Structure 1
Amino acid sequence: MATKPTVIAVVNQKGGTGKTTTCENLGVGLAKAGKKVLLVDTDPQASLTISLGYPRPDDIKPSISDLMEKVMQEEKLKYHEGIIHHDEGIDFIPANIELSGLEVSLVNAMSRETILKQVLDSFKKEYDYVLLDCMPSLGMLTINALASADNVLIPVQAQYLSAKGLEQLLQTINKVRRQINPKLKIEGILLTMVDPRTNYAKDISNLIREAYGSKLKVYKTDIPRSVRAEEMSAVGKSIFSHDPNGKVANAYRILAKEVLENAEKKHKRQLEQLR
């Protein structure tokens, strides 16, 4: 069991880049590698909650908005409050539409950027990895996720406009690092929905690697476009259950391995610095 968990925010302000798919499948992939994993849905659209097999998120109590509300009211959270155990070996905290209302009330809250962090601090030590699925905006909920995170993973669709939107996100991450969370680092950029048959997708992949590869990690793994992956949220299962031998499951397996290798390298560097 980890004494120091790694909190990864899966963020892109553009919709349709594969954030939820990545959060769910990376989480299950890490759990399959023997890690204890918590997924947290921080999007009022509740895409992660639905993808994990809960098609009526508004009926679930308590949700992440209830836990954040409690922290804002200075109430103590109960042990494991809001955590649901999933049969694919992960735990998760659901979201629903109530989170939209909470985002509005966050504006007037004390320590408004760190409410989610206070929720996670109450139980994150029990996990090796905590993955936050963020909403497609750079509003207060996403700022809360960035304030809570150690690392940011950025899924980017292999399209020109998606790549162009990266600059704004990187500026926001730098701002949060300067003002709220100095330890925040970028885990990596993940190219998603890549169609390897088209030159266009290859060109965009090369463009992103050339533009950012010297400053930021761009994962070696690309997540391919696949109809089977698009069916996932409807069946309420990860790609490992829905299509375990397919190319997308294999890509997320490799991604989980890359994330673990990065963590191992970081740990070794920290040990060397202490010597």
Structure 2
Amino acid sequence: MMAKIIEIGSAKGGVAKTTTTYNLAYVLKEMGYKVLAVDLDPQANLSTCFGIEDTSVVQITIGHLLMNMIDDEDMLDANEFILRRNGVDYIPASMMLSAVEAKLRMEMGAEKMLSYVLEPLRERYDYILIDTSPSLGALTINAIAAADEVIVTVNPQLLAMMGLQDYLKTITKIRNRINPKVSVAGILLTMCEPRTNLCKTVIEQVQDTFSGQIKVFEARIPATVKVGESIYYSEPLLEYAPGCNATVAYTEFGRELIENEG
């Protein structure tokens, strides 16, 4: 079996993209799948979740691998750059990614660099999850160009909704021009406070807008302090707070995602 590559993205920051990538990786691992998480954000928040306090001292990051591709150098051995924590493999990021992004703008075939890095790793995993930055720059385009599916995270606030349409347009452009196989797995609503009227209104709006076109996952990730605490301690919710409502929601989301594949 070849890994399915899933990009987790959004055109807005603060919508729990990184939290979703991190916790989904552990939910899938718990279900018995082999998972690789890739941090493609220069801020390296996912790397921090995995317990790396200072990303500048990491020997080989995703930035180094992309730079190798840009310079037409040989791919390094996977054992040199894949790190592991609690049963999940990951490739960390660092601020070097900002320099890589600038360089990508001037490269021929720049959109495919991440694909070249990840393709040889497909046979080692069931799922490869990519966490991206909230900008629609060269790195995010690389992630969507490498992906089989995209999960779009949306925080039920009006501004986050506005970014959603832009993001979906970008995915359509990339499908038409670069990566015909990419599809939207669905929209995941995060940081939900179901008791508020705004949250209810936006959820209804998302369902009405995309009904019959794009799946809106039934699982909704609630806003809870446990999420922030678990990241502070570099532990996935499954370990830090197994019974909390966000952990239950992420587990349901993982199941729903797998059932979708069927």
TM-score norm. by structure 2 comes to 0.97
The runs of 5 or more residues in structure 1 that have no matched partner are 265-275
In the alignment, the residues of structure 1 paired with residue 57 and residue 164 of structure 2 have an alpha-carbon distance, to the nearest angstrom, of: 35
Code of the aligned partner of 1:245 = G
The one-letter code sitting in structure 2 at the alignment partner of 1:72 is I
**2:155 aligned with 1:151, yes or no?**
no
**Residue 64 of structure 1 aligns with which residue?**
62
Paired residue type of 2:72: E
User: Paired residue for 1:86?
Assistant: 85
SS at match of 1:75: coil
Deviation at 1:232, TM superposition (A): 2.4
- What is the match of residue 241 of structure 1? 239
Identity %: 37
Letter in 1 for 2:192: V
Question: RMSD across aligned C-alpha pairs, in angstroms?
Answer: 0.9
Question: Distance in 2 between the 1:247 and 1:45 partners?
Answer: 28
Which of 72, 80, 84 is the aligned partner of 1:74?
72
- Paired position in structure 2 for 1:268: none
Q: Distance in 1 between matches of 2:64 and 2:239?
A: 30
In the TM superposition, what whole-angstrom CA distance separates every residue of 1:48-105 from its partner, at most 9, and x where no partner exists? 0001111211111100000111111222223213100111x21000001000001001
Aligned match for 2:138, one of 116, 124, 140: 140
> Which blocks of at least 5 consecutive residues in structure 2 are unaligned?
none
Q: Secondary structure at the match of 2:218?
A: coil
Report the 3-state secondary structure (helix = DSSP H, G, I; strand = E; otherwise coil) of the residue aligned with 2:128: strand
Find the residue that maps to 2:187 and give its secondary structure: strand
Structure 1 Cα separation of the partners of residues 24 and 222 of structure 2: 14
CA displacement, residues 117-156 of structure 1 (integer Å, 9 cap, x when unaligned): 1000121211000000011100000000000000000000
The alpha carbon displacement at 1:162 in A equals 0.6
Tell me the equivalent position of 1:6. 4
Which secondary structure state, in structure 2, belongs to the residue aligned with residue 220 of structure 1?
strand
Q: What is the number of residues matched between the two proteins? A: 261
Q: Which amino acid aligns with 1:234?
A: Y
**What whole-Å deviation, never above 9, does each CA across 1:17-69 have from its counterpart, x for those lacking one?**
01000000111100100000000000000010001111211111100000111
Q: Distance in 2 between matches of 1:78 and 1:102?
A: 17
In the alignment, which residue of structure 2 is the partner of 1:130?
Answer: 128
Cross-structure match for 1:113: 111
Q: Equivalences for 1:48-63 in 2 at 5 Å?
A: 48-63=46-61
Alignment of 1:183-202 (within 5 A): 183-202=181-200
Mapped to 2, the partners of 1:136 and 1:184 lie a distance apart of 19
Counterpart mapping for 1:155-166 below 5 A: 155-166=153-164
Query: Are positions 1:15 and 2:13 aligned together?
Result: yes
Runs of 4+ in 1 over 2 A off after TM superposition: none
Aligned mates of 2:62, 2:185 — CA distance in 1: 24
Report which of the two has the higher share of strand.
2
CA distance in 2, matches of 1:29, 1:170: 26
Counterpart CA distance in 2 for 1:114 and 1:199 is: 43
Which residue of structure 2 aligns with residue 256 of structure 1? 254
Q: Which amino acid is the alignment partner of residue 28 of structure 1?
A: Y
**In structure 2, what is the Cα distance between the partners aligned to 1:261 and 1:151?**
14
Q: Could you say which residue in structure 2 is the equivalent of 1:270?
A: none
